[in-house]
């Protein structure tokens, strides 16, 4: 049953997180407004409390039991703990899933996934571990092509004339391309020049989006057969479940009834798994149509553009990159010299924009007077998005 006192607070926490609020910012807001803690007492909210609440499956309809277990603390460090044991999170396969009906969900699974993705991005892009966070607007967006690891920023010193990107695994010997580095200023300039070309060169955006649509259509064709197979599996499972339930009604022996219940439970689990997979594949199959609609709307925004993007400040460049979910793949210099890689770096941008990302882009461009105030259609949250990347060579 929903708690009338705490449920509105939890909904507000999820809403603030979904709107882009940080865990520390949410905690500070609740503390300033003297919102009672989960214990019911007045006090200071902590970011760890917000993090804990945002990762409890019961709030999006997936309650679990036996999530934690107690393990003894080693004697060498026992003096650092209040108790002789500590709590650790169990692996997912050791937890017990409870019926979703035991507690009404406060948010949808889609909202929870969106919030968790934003929290992961905030963690990856946080400037707190960088003494010069403004030295490059691609901080956290550059990846090594050899191992896929995120590249870290090495600030300038007496041995380096300028900031550099370096593969985070290269120094530990875990990257095949050891020493994959590139000057941050060079990579920033090339990435932004490609972004300007995409927005300002006639036909470039349309060509990129046509390629993305062709890729999505090919994936849709490949996914048609698995969808048919899953549909048949689900129909067969429903038929078998109906037969098992009829048989269970005729059984009088307790042991046989218990064995029949176990068979029904396993079959229901398989059916639910197939149903979830089918829903995901159907959503992927419908994506090309949504992309077509988003392409048209996005091109209308770009067609109304005016102004000089080359004069943008670095924080605005970074904001646009984040809205586009952009990332830069950096290839080792030796591969380029050997001819195995055609370019030093490739910019990946998710297009077209739709839903909240489209709204954010329109707001950014209007605030910076890049879009005209008239003739620009209002952005609507159509909820769509794309999964494919448009590849823009640097």
C-alpha radius of gyration, the chain, whole number: 26
Whether residues 115 and 212 share a domain: the answer is no
For the range 294-297, what are the long-range contacts, defined as Cβ-Cβ under 8 Å and sequence gap of 24 or more? 294/352, 294/353, 294/354, 294/358, 294/382, 294/384, 294/386, 295/209, 295/213, 295/352, 297/352, 297/354, 297/358, 297/377, 297/379, 297/382
Whether residues 119 and 213 share a domain: the answer is no
Evaluate whether residue 274 is within a structural domain. yes
What CATH number does residue 84 fall under? 3.90.1750
pLDDT tens-digit map of 75-124: 888 888 888 888 888 888 888 888 877 888 888 888 898 899 888 877 76
Evaluate whether residue 195 is within a structural domain. no
Whether residues 234 and 336 share a domain: the answer is yes
Taking Cα atoms as reference points, which of 376, 367, 366 lies closest to residue 300?
A: 376
pLDDT band at 385 (very low <50, low <70, confident <90, very high): very low
Whether residues 331 and 232 share a domain: the answer is yes
Q: How many domains does the chain have?
A: 2
| Alpha carbon 345 to chain centroid, angstroms | 23
Evaluate whether residue 385 is within a structural domain. yes
Q: Which domain holds residue 66?
A: 7-124
Evaluate whether residue 373 is within a structural domain. yes
Global pTM reads: 0.50
- Give residue for tokens 């500590």: 86
Evaluate whether residue 338 is within a structural domain. yes
The residue among 109, 124, 139 that closes a domain is 124
The residue among 106, 124, 142 that closes a domain is 124
Characterize 230-257 residue by residue with b for buried, 16 or more Cβ atoms within 10 angstroms of its Cβ, and e for exposed. Answer: beebbeebeeeeeebeeeeeeeeeeeee
Residues in Cβ contact with 201 at an 8 Å cutoff, skipping those fewer than 6 apart? none
Best mean pLDDT range from 144-148, 203-207, 286-290: 144-148
Whether residues 334 and 229 share a domain: the answer is yes
Evaluate whether residue 154 is within a structural domain. no
Q: Are 16 and 26 in contact (CB under 8 A)?
A: yes
Q: Report the SS3 class of residue 202.
A: coil
DSSP string, 69-82: EEEEPPGGGGGGSS
pLDDT tens-digit map of 27-43: 999 999 999 998 888 88
The residue among 93, 124, 155 that closes a domain is 124
Rounded Cα distance, 106 and 393, in Å? 44
Evaluate whether residue 198 is within a structural domain. no
Evaluate whether residue 197 is within a structural domain. no
């Amino acid at each position: 049953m929903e708690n009338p006192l705490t449920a509105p607070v939890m909904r507000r926490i999820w809403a603030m997180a979904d709107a882009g609020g940080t865990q520390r910012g949410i905690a500070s807001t609740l503390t300033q407004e003297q919102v009672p803690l989960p214990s019911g007492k007045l006090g200071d909210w902590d970011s760890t409390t917000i993090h804990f609440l945002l990762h409890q499956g019961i709030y999006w309809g997936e309650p679990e039991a036996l999530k934690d277990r107690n393990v003894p603390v080693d004697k060498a460090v026992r003096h650092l703990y209040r108790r002789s044991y500590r709590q650790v999170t169990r692996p997912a396969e050791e937890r017990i899933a409870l019926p979703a009906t035991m507690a009404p969900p406060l948010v949808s699974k889609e909202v929870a996934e969106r919030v968790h993705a934003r929290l992961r991005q905030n963690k990856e892009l946080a400037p707190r571990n960088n003494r010069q966070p403004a030295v490059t607007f691609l901080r956290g967006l550059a990846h090594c092509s050899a191992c896929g690891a995120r590249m870290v920023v090495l600030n300038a010193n007496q041995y380096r004339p300028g900031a550099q990107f370096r593969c985070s695994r290269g120094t530990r010997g875990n990257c095949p391309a050891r020493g994959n580095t590139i000057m941050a200023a060079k990579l920033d300039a090339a990435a932004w020049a490609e972004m300007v070309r995409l927005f300002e060169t006639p036909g470039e955006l349309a060509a990129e989006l046509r390629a993305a649509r062709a890729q999505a259509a090919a994936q849709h064709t490949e996914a048609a057969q698995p969808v048919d197979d899953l549909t048949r599996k689900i129909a067969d499972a429903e038929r078998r479940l109906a037969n098992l339930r009829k048989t269970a009604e005729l059984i009088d022996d307790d042991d046989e009834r218990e064995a029949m219940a176990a068979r029904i439970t396993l079959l229901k689990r398989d059916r639910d798994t197939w149903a979830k997979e089918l829903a995901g594949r159907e959503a992927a199959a419908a994506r090309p149509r949504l992309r077509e609609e988003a392409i048209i709307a996005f091109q209308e925004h770009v067609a109304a553009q005016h102004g000089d993007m080359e004069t943008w400040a670095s924080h605005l460049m970074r904001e646009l990159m984040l809205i586009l979910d952009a990332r830069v793949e950096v290839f080792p210099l030796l591969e380029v010299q050997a001819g195995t890689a055609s370019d030093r770096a490739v910019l990946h941008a998710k297009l077209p924009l739709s839903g909240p990302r489209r709204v954010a882009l329109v707001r950014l461009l209007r605030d910076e007077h890049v879009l005209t105030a008239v003739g620009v259609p209002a952005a609507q949250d159509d909820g769509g998005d794309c999964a494919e990347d448009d590849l823009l060579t640097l």
